Structure 1
């Protein structure tokens, strides 16, 4: 069957063909930045724009992206607008910290995300997914797969990085994540206009309750673990939470930095994987010829006796992995990477002025017509083993690149493949009705209104 001819084209904004006025620009960025970008953003290696509030360069060329994120990364700091959005939520967590604070946090967390540690999490990921899957045995009607994946990835995060010791209830957690990203996860018009920090942001005011909820979870989680460390000594789990708390001290992390990093991983760290999983189930339901191939791969794999250890699943299920990676191409969990040059810079014939906004946007790079064939279509075969070498390292950026590449990328990939294999072996997920989920950029690429789907047992 011709993959291109039968490929499913999932919903996405149509590129704009005309200029955007300042008021419409601000309105669109607040409502959904994915709807802002025009034809040049999907056709040109870079686009240089003088907007009312800042000179902006949209970087699509893989060489330019490498220049900004790797080769000359020292000249590029986190963009001020991005920091004004994220710092009120994450403060000095790994995603927002800079300089020595970032280095201390990265150094403290590195031991958790070594291959040996990540492999050690695999059995718990499988066990947690199997337990979660039991809820579908008695499901009748429609479920929201987007919300369910938020709850599943929360359960996995709690069981692996926190050894089951996150305070709070998963149902309440999922609700508050949605609320936090709906409010504080959006660009506030005052941030775009460069208004002073003391001026209240309406979006942040609306999100304070959700942020307080997360701060309370963190405080209670730390109290629980500190008490266990005092009581059990070396018998305490040597997980993410313990390593952070043991890194506390004059030469390590402050208590505030520990809290900020826990917030980062409880909130944003699991959210990206949850969204990518939800989009994968949706895309496979709309492309049954792809789903058939993956079900066959998973079924054959699961019939092995003995079944390979969970940490081997990622490399043993290439078609399943390819579908997940293609879902992250079409709906990148983090749709934009924002930088700002400290000094003037030059890349080929492009002048990059100090203080300009540099947008490296996986959303446009992943759909760019110079770098992908049939870029709007769901074609998992792009990521089949025989085709992977055709993809430039800097044209596919679901986890970023350079010194600030996502520290949990391997964790997320292993988690996703174990979850997909476990769930798709037992159940089939089908879309319901004619509604098309609309992608909206908040902190992540989210389906507006969720992903309503019907679940049925396969065997």
Structure 2
């Protein structure tokens, strides 16, 4: 008899059973696009629809996803709506650039994110996690309430600042997490004018006030660049060999323009840590509601740390911890949609002989949010079950049914970095503390570029009874 408790089913919008009206679609998208999707998006391999006059194909078939994102990726550009939302923020950063500009940027940043290089950051990730964990030392035996969503944003920013910028980001305040939330709230939502494909110069009412916080971020980037350039000019040997120096050395007629460098720095400061932060917070929340999973993770973490293993080895030595994080990535993918548009007519035929036409101009939506909860691909898709990702089980998960980092030429360049960072952070935090939900912990996932918990994630943090420190 299986004595394991029923798995935790964390909060999420239920599939809609009645198609919304045109006006309702606008209201839902303004409020929370995750609430838009109906039952067919969670049960069918693909769906054709007409979305505000735009032919749209919603794709949940792994074979068709592979075709669009990998096999014939050159035939698919970024969709107009996606670019209307992101380009005002990131301009020609790695997430939004296309064509030769994207190729130059990808080539410039690739060396810093090779798996071997990313592993070299493990010591800094450990140090920043340990430093941040001291924040909770004053909680006392009874514990105290902290907003874990904000805390994980602060922690991952500290890690990013140390690993990629050697701690030399010129911030203007100590409230960086609040600034990120403000930027995403003001600038990271789809506006009705975007749905109507209005030109970028048409004002977006929902983004009023966003330009001020965006300019604040731009000023941080420019000041950071100027400070490092001055150091490099005074004494090149005194400048750290990090991401920032690497990018600045790419400036020139055969490399990146100053504006492209600024855009890429802003991309990594504003978005490079945000996705991992959200997934870490969701992980701690789901684990807090799954005591048997938490106990297994604690035993695993304590055992590995007791061996004195180096942090670079933890990702491989902590399969339960990694699985808990990846299951949170499945249920709450930080990037809930991947949007493309066909450049030329295309087609794909399924193994069963079903032919799908992808006409030039059609918008293709690959939705990790629905794909990761799809009834064709997952057992109990709404339940938090990290055992799916344990080494003995993960072979049954198809490459194109789990896309937290995308796929193809534009796969997230920082995937290895993020997984290593997450396991190290979870190990340090869960070795020292327990994170518990309270009556105040009632998160609701909302899409604002990333999948965020509405109103934060207040949780009680209490010291664990063991005395050994990570």
TM-score (norm 2): 0.95
Report the 3-state secondary structure (helix = DSSP H, G, I; strand = E; otherwise coil) of the residue aligned with 1:339: strand
Checking the alignment, whether the CA contact within 8 Å between 2:77 and 2:343 is kept in structure 1 is yes
For residues 320 and 5 of structure 1, the distance between their equivalents in structure 2, rounded to whole angstroms, comes to 19
1:133 matches 2:139? no
Instruction: Give the distance between the partners of 2:318 and 2:172, measured in 1 at CA.
Output: 33
1:254-279 CA-partner distances (Å, limit 9, x unpaired) = 00000000000000111000000000
Alignment of 1:92-111 (within 5 A): 92-111=92-111
Task: Tell me the distance in 1 between the aligned counterparts of 2:144 and 2:317.
Answer: 33
CA distance in 2, matches of 1:165, 1:55: 46
- Tell whether the 8 Å contact from 1:4 to 1:374 is kept in structure 2 after alignment: no
Deviations 1:381-429 (A, max 9, x none): 0000001110000000000000000000000111000000000000000
Q: CA offset at residue 141 of structure 1? A: 2.6
Determine if the alignment matches structure 1 residue 244 to structure 2 residue 250. no
Alignment of 1:166 onto 2:169: yes
Paired with 1:240 and 1:197, the residues of 2 have a C-alpha distance of 31
Q: Which residue of structure 1 lines up, in the alignment, with residue 468 of structure 2?
A: none
CA displacement at 1:2 relative to structure 2: 4.0
SS in 2 for 1:47: strand
Is residue 248–residue 258 contact of structure 1 (8 Å, CA) maintained in 2? yes
- The change in CA–CA distance for 1:206 and 1:286 in structure 2 (over 3 A counts) is same
Alignment of 1:48-197 (within 5 A): 48-139=48-139, 141-168=144-171, 171-197=174-200
Provide the C-alpha distance between the structure 2 equivalents of 1:230 and 1:166, rounded to a whole number of angstroms. Answer: 18
Choose the corresponding residue for 2:439, options 433, 444, 453.
433
C-alpha separation in 2, matches of 1:116 and 1:64: 32
> Deviation at 1:230?
1.4
Preserved CA contact (<8 Å) 1:155 1:170? no
Deviation by residue 1:54-105 (Cα, 9 ceiling, x = unmatched): 1111100000100000001011000010000000000000000000000000
Q: Name the residue aligned to 2:319.
A: 318
| Number of equivalences | 457
Kindly tell me: are residues 5 and 142 of structure 1, through their superposed partners in 2, closer, same or farther at Cα, counting changes over 3 Å?
closer
For the residues of structure 1 that align with 2:270 and 2:66, how far apart are their CA atoms?
28
SS in 2 for 1:347: strand
Counterpart secondary structure, 1:373: coil
Query: Which residue does the alignment assign to 2:332?
Result: 331
Instruction: State the TM-score, normalizing by the size of structure 1.
Output: 0.98
**Shift in CA distance, 3/188, structure 1 to aligned 2, threshold 3 Å:** farther
Matches within 5 A, 1:338-377: 338-348=339-349, 349-377=355-383
Mapped partners of 1:63, 1:454: distance in 2: 43
The worse-fitting range, judged by mean Cα deviation, of 149-158 and 429-438 is 429-438
Q: Is the 8 A contact 2:125 2:425 kept in 1?
A: yes
Q: Does 1:259 align with 2:262?
A: yes
* SS of alignment partner, residue 274 of structure 1: helix
Contact 1:275 1:445 in 2 (8 A): yes
- 1:434 deviates by 5.6
In structure 2, the residue corresponding to 1:399 is in which secondary structure?
coil
User: Residue in 1 aligned with 2:352?
Assistant: none
Secondary structure of the equivalent of 1:277?
helix
8 Å contact kept, 1:48–1:57: yes
TM-superposed CA distance for 1:196, in Å, is 2.5
Distance in 2 between residues matched to 1:422 and 1:195, nearest whole Å: 48
Question: Are the structure 2 counterparts of residues 374 and 178 from structure 1 closer, same or farther at C-alpha, using a change threshold of 3 Å?
Answer: same
Partners of 2:120 and 2:230 lie apart in 1 by: 25
Q: Tell me the secondary structure at the aligned position of residue 208 of structure 2.
A: helix
Deviation per residue, 1:26-49 (Å, 9 max, x gap): 111121110000000000000111
Moved over 3 A (4+): 1-5
Give CA-to-partner distance per residue, 1:118-156, whole Å, 9 cap, x none.
Answer: 111110000011001001000353110000000000000
Question: Counterpart in 2 of 1:409?
Answer: 415
Classify the secondary structure of the residue corresponding to 1:410.
helix
- How far is the alpha carbon of 1:309 from its aligned partner? 1.4
CA distance in 2, matches of 1:322, 1:102: 32
Q: Does 1:298 align with 2:304?
A: no
Q: Determine the C-alpha separation between the residues in 2 that align with 1:398 and 1:243.
A: 27
Retained in 1: the 8 A contact 2:29–2:190? yes
SS at match of 1:267: helix
Measured after TM superposition, the shift of residue 170 of structure 1 is: 6.5
Match of residue 205 from structure 1: 208
Deviations 1:422-456 (A, max 9, x none): 00000000011064200001110000000000000
Contact preservation (8 Å) 1:182, 1:442:
yes
**1:280-329 per-position Cα deviation (integer Å, ceiling 9, x unaligned):** 0000001111101000100111111xx11111111110000000000000
